[in-house]
Each structure stands twice: as C-alpha cells, then as structure tokens.
Amino acid sequence: MAVDEKDFFREFTMRICGSLEIEKALWQSLLYIRNFMPAGQMSLHFYHRDLGIVETVAHATLASGEAMSLKTPLSQKARRQIEAQRSIRVRVFDRLRDNPVTRPVAEKFNALDLSSVIMDLVLEKKMLGVFSVFNNGKETFTADHVQLLSLLNEPCAVALTNFLRYRELVTLRDHLADDNRYLQDELRRLSGEDVVGADFGLKGVMELVRQVAPLDSPVLLLGETGSGKEVIANAIHKFSTRRDKPFIAVNCGAIPETLLDSELFGYEKGAFTGAMSQKRGRIERAHGGTLFLDEIGELPAEAQVRLLRVLQEKEIDRIGGTHAIKVDIRIIAATHRNLEEMMAMGKFRQDLYFRLRVFPIAIPPLRERKRDIPALVQHFILKKSREMKRVTVPIPAADAIDRLMAYHWPGNVRELENAVERSLILNQGSRLYFKEIGTRLMGKTVGSPVPVTLRSSESLALDSVMARHIQQVLQLCGGRVEGEHGAARLLDIKPPTLRKRMEKLCIPFGRKAKI
C-alpha cells in the first residue's frame, strides 16, 4: 500500500522520542511500524568504541518492551568495519544465525532463524549503534520496507542518545543517594549512635532532648566551649521526625561577615561579580531537616534580622533574587556566651533571643559530670585508634583514670578528646598513661591554694611531692578526708580516689592518722 513518508516519519518520531523509558518508546514504535511491514521484534543497540562491545539497551516484542544491558564483544574485523562507518547503512539478513556479529544477539531473543533489517545509527558522522527490526517469522522484508526504515536513522539516533544520557543521570543520582546514605552511616558510626554519658552526667539533658525532639520547636543549647553542644543537636535531630532529612551545621563565628549572607541564604546567577551560577544557601539546603546554628552569639546584627524573618515567615530571599523561597526547617541554636548580657549591651536582638529560647537546654561542663570520663575515654580511644589505624587498641593504665578524674578540664569534652589523641601519639604500646595530664593535676584546686616550700634536702620525685601536698591539705582540713570541708573537696577528687592514693603513698588516714 502507498505510504506517506512524511506522516510515517512524524508518527514514528513521536513514538520513539515520546518517552525516556526506552522500553515503552520502542514497544509503541513497534506497534505502529507493524502496520506497514511484517515486524515482530525490534532492538536498539549502542556501540562502545573504547571496549569494542555492542550493548543491547532495549528490546520489544508485540507483547511488551524491556530495557536491558546485554553486552556482546565484537571481533577485531567487526570493530574495524563499524568504526570506519561514516554514513547510514541499511542491510537485510535472511537468517541472523548466518552472521557472526548478529548471531550472539539473536540467540538471546530466540531469533536465530528470523530475517532482519539492520540500520547503522550515525549522528554527526559518528557511528552510535544499531537499530534492528526482526520479521514475524512468516513474511519477508521487501525493498519498500527497507526504504521506509532508512528514513528513521535520525529519530532512532536521537532516542538512543537521550536514553543514554538519562541513564547516566539516573546512575549518578543513585550513586549520590548511596554515597549520602554511606556518609550518614559513617558519621553515625564515628560519632556513636548513643550520646556518651546519657545514663549518667547527661541523663537530665537527654530526658529534655527526648521531650522536645519530636516537635518542631526551636531549641537553644547553652554550655561552655567543648561541652558537646553539637552532639546534643545531632541527638535531637536523630530522635526527631526529620531524622532522614539533612542536618546542616553552621558555625556562625567561623564565616566572615562579608560572606555570611551568601553562605546562609545563597545567591542568584549574576547577583555580584563572581556569581557565575546559582547557589543554594545552607538554610535552603536544610529544607525538610534541621539547621544547627553554632555560636549564635557571633551572628552580626544584619544577619540576625534576616534570621528572625526565617523563624517568623519560614521563607528566605537569595541575594539577587526576585521572589521569596519557602523553607521548612527546624532551628537549633547554641552558644557559650551570655545572650542576656549581650541583649543589655545591644549586641543581640531581644526578639530573636525569645524566638530561639523556646526550649533552652543547659549542658553541664565535664568537671560537673566526671562520672562520664571513663566512658568518654573509652569512646575516644576506639575512635582515634581507628583513625590512626592502630592494629591493637590500647587501654588506660591502672592509675590513668584517677589522673583524668582529678583534673578539672577547662576545655571540657574537646580537651579530653585531644588528651586521648595526644596520649595515643606518645604511647605506642598497649597502655595509655596520660602523664601529660599529671603535670597539670595540681594546677587548679577548689579553694585557696596551699603554698608548698621545698627545701634542698627534699625529694623532687612526683610521688614524694604529691605525698607532701596531700599531707599539707589534710593538715589544713584537720585530717578530714570527705565532706564540705574535707581534703577531697579541696583536691577536686572523689574521697575513694583520695583514700586509694593515700594508701599507695603510705599516708595514714582514719584511726591510723595522727594529725
């Protein structure tokens, strides 16, 4: 029958290029083309020039279409023939089993005894792959059929190229999602699934965390530098309904004031010199998740105004933008500064303070929760040993924990982590001694300092100096070891630890003492 070639080309193009689901597009094309020729199956193949492999990316029968990745290596002779091809070539094979190139592919589709029209797909003088049409097993292809199929090079080549690019994007998206899952798992592994000290010194804090986590209320974390505010912020996010969404941390004191707006709110292409493309700010990246603003007290006045709008209106403006962008975020702020004093001095906005201070949580310093030290030390030993690739994980020496418990830790948990890392560097064996802490053990005591005057005849050995100091403190306390005015309070250690130390240094106490 007479066929309008323009209509045929247009209708086929609409079907083969009508969907990025190549199996669906190929199947719809087959159902159309069988009205004009004895077509029973169709395939699209891509040629990997660097590997010398033909990959079947889609195959369609009258029942359905299927996307696939069926790879067939070619001989050197076949590779030379394909790579030398610069123009459209349409060939008819009476039986696919008779050709060494077509046989391996035809065997996969039970088409060895079928005839086929095979067209090389060439775009911009580059061989991309092959489009093949198998007959229905009854009728043969004529010259008119070949003429119609020769019209379809360009739409088939475009459809193949579009699919390959789409497949690459899907692969990159899946890899990115997989990398993101891996990163989140790795971060949880490195930081620990549980907050160290949750059952001891931080028990009250964790009770508050569990109460507020399921809500979207802003949280203000208060505590000294290094006390673990970001760990608590992570815990709030972990226990919230936003746990599978981003957790974006921003150190407000670490970003230069001139870059703060662009970092927080982002910018449009051309907003300023150097803005070569659009950039989403960290607030926008936290959409659906949690934004952690550490050191909120360092936020400049202008940024405070814009942050207040985020809290009130739930929207932002990119620099150079012409419309507001809605954001769904939960804000957790943290500071070691006294924001009320800053308000009185006009350095922190009162309205922003009360917006953030919906649910304040005070994190105690390490010196007020020393029961957490043994667990923290073990956690940091495991973490740092893994980072340093230590074959054997060391353990603290017998008196090391006592030395750590007696120290006042002005740098809090961060200082303890650094002390563990330093000890791992200095002690390569199976024991960690923390001797560098011992030299600072008496650097600060609770109460008035007790002067120690050494005579030239006195020993300067550490145990001897320590024994003399403990004896002088005991004299100052009237021999009392524990209690409000006991020696243990002045030495900032626990009474059992002091008694154990006195036994080791042969210092009598209790009924044996003669003060």
pLDDT in tens, 146-156: 999 999 999 99
Q: Do residues 497 and 405 lie in contact, with contact meaning Cβ atoms separated by under 8 Å? A: yes
pLDDT tens column, 406-459: 888 988 999 999 999 999 998 888 889 888 775 543 444 433 344 444 444 445
Q: Within this chain, do residues 10 and 157 fall inside the same structural domain, yes or no? A: yes
Question: Is the pLDDT confidence value at 219 over 90?
Answer: yes
Give 221's Cβ-side CA count (13 Å radius): 29
Question: Is the pLDDT confidence value at 213 over 90?
Answer: yes
Count of other CB atoms within 10 angstroms of residue 205 = 22
Q: Residue 415 domain-assigned?
A: yes
Q: Residue 469 domain-assigned?
A: yes
Q: Residue 372 domain-assigned?
A: yes
* pLDDT tier for residue 70 given thresholds of 50, 70 and 90: confident
Q: Residue 189 domain-assigned?
A: no
The residue among 400, 423, 438 that closes a domain is: 438
E strand or H helix that includes residue 79: helix 76-83
Q: Within this chain, do residues 265 and 277 fall inside the same structural domain, yes or no? A: yes
d(CA 288, CA 397): 47
Question: Is the pLDDT confidence value at 336 over 90?
Answer: yes
More confident residue, 5 or 500: 5
Q: Which residues of 102-137 are buried (b: 16+ CB within 10 A; e: fewer)?
A: bbebbeebebeebbbbbbbbbeeeebbbbbbbbbee
Whole-number pLDDT of residue 357: 93
Whole-number pLDDT of residue 185: 60
What is the DSSP annotation of 157-182?
HHHHHHHHHHHHHHHHHHHHHHHHHH
Q: Within this chain, do residues 65 and 161 fall inside the same structural domain, yes or no? A: yes
Q: Which of 360, 359, 368, 413 is nearest to 200 (CA)?
A: 368
Q: Residue 200 domain-assigned?
A: no
Q: Within this chain, do residues 157 and 290 fall inside the same structural domain, yes or no? A: no
The residue among 333, 364, 395 that closes a domain is: 364
Q: Residue 110 domain-assigned?
A: yes
Whole-number pLDDT of residue 256: 86
Q: Within this chain, do residues 28 and 162 fall inside the same structural domain, yes or no? A: yes
* pLDDT tier for residue 123 given thresholds of 50, 70 and 90: confident
Whole-number pLDDT of residue 179: 67
* pLDDT tier for residue 183 given thresholds of 50, 70 and 90: low
Whole-number pLDDT of residue 440: 43
Q: Is residue 78 helix, strand or coil?
A: helix
Q: Within this chain, do residues 19 and 152 fall inside the same structural domain, yes or no? A: yes
Q: Within this chain, do residues 252 and 284 fall inside the same structural domain, yes or no? A: yes
Q: Within this chain, do residues 222 and 90 fall inside the same structural domain, yes or no? A: no
User: What is the model's pTM?
Assistant: 0.55
* pLDDT tier for residue 513 given thresholds of 50, 70 and 90: low
Q: Within this chain, do residues 348 and 490 fall inside the same structural domain, yes or no? A: no
Q: Which of 247, 270, 261, 269 is nearest to 310 (CA)?
A: 261
Q: Within this chain, do residues 468 and 348 fall inside the same structural domain, yes or no? A: no
**If you average pLDDT over every residue of the chain, what do you get?**
84
Q: Which of 166, 148, 208 is nearest to 4 (CA)?
A: 148
pLDDT tens column, 9-44: 999 999 999 998 999 999 999 999 999 999 999 999
For 180, counting Cβ atoms within 10 Å of its Cβ (0-12 exposed, 13-18 middle, 19+ buried), the class is: exposed
Q: Residue 448 domain-assigned?
A: no
325-326/126-135 β-pairing: unpaired
Q: How many domains does the chain have?
A: 4
Q: What are the angstrom distances between the C-alpha of 38 and each of 103, 285, 369?
A: 21, 55, 83
Task: State which residues form the domain around 374.
Answer: 367-438
pLDDT tens column, 341-369: 999 999 999 999 999 999 999 999 999 99
Q: What is the mean pLDDT of residues 221-229?
A: 92
Q: What is the mean pLDDT of residues 60-78?
A: 86
d(CA 479, CA 292): 50
d(CA 485, CA 476): 9
Q: Within this chain, do residues 216 and 341 fall inside the same structural domain, yes or no? A: yes
d(CA 491, CA 512): 21
Count of other CB atoms within 10 angstroms of residue 154 = 15
Whole-number pLDDT of residue 48: 87
Question: Is the pLDDT confidence value at 178 over 80?
Answer: no
Whole-number pLDDT of residue 37: 92
Q: Within this chain, do residues 153 and 10 fall inside the same structural domain, yes or no? A: yes
CATH number at residue 257: 3.40.50.300
Q: Residue 296 domain-assigned?
A: yes
Count of other CB atoms within 10 angstroms of residue 279 = 18
Q: Which of 474, 512, 511, 503 is nearest to 490 (CA)?
A: 474
Question: Is the pLDDT confidence value at 116 over 50?
Answer: yes
Q: Do residues 260 and 300 lie in contact, with contact meaning Cβ atoms separated by under 8 Å? A: yes
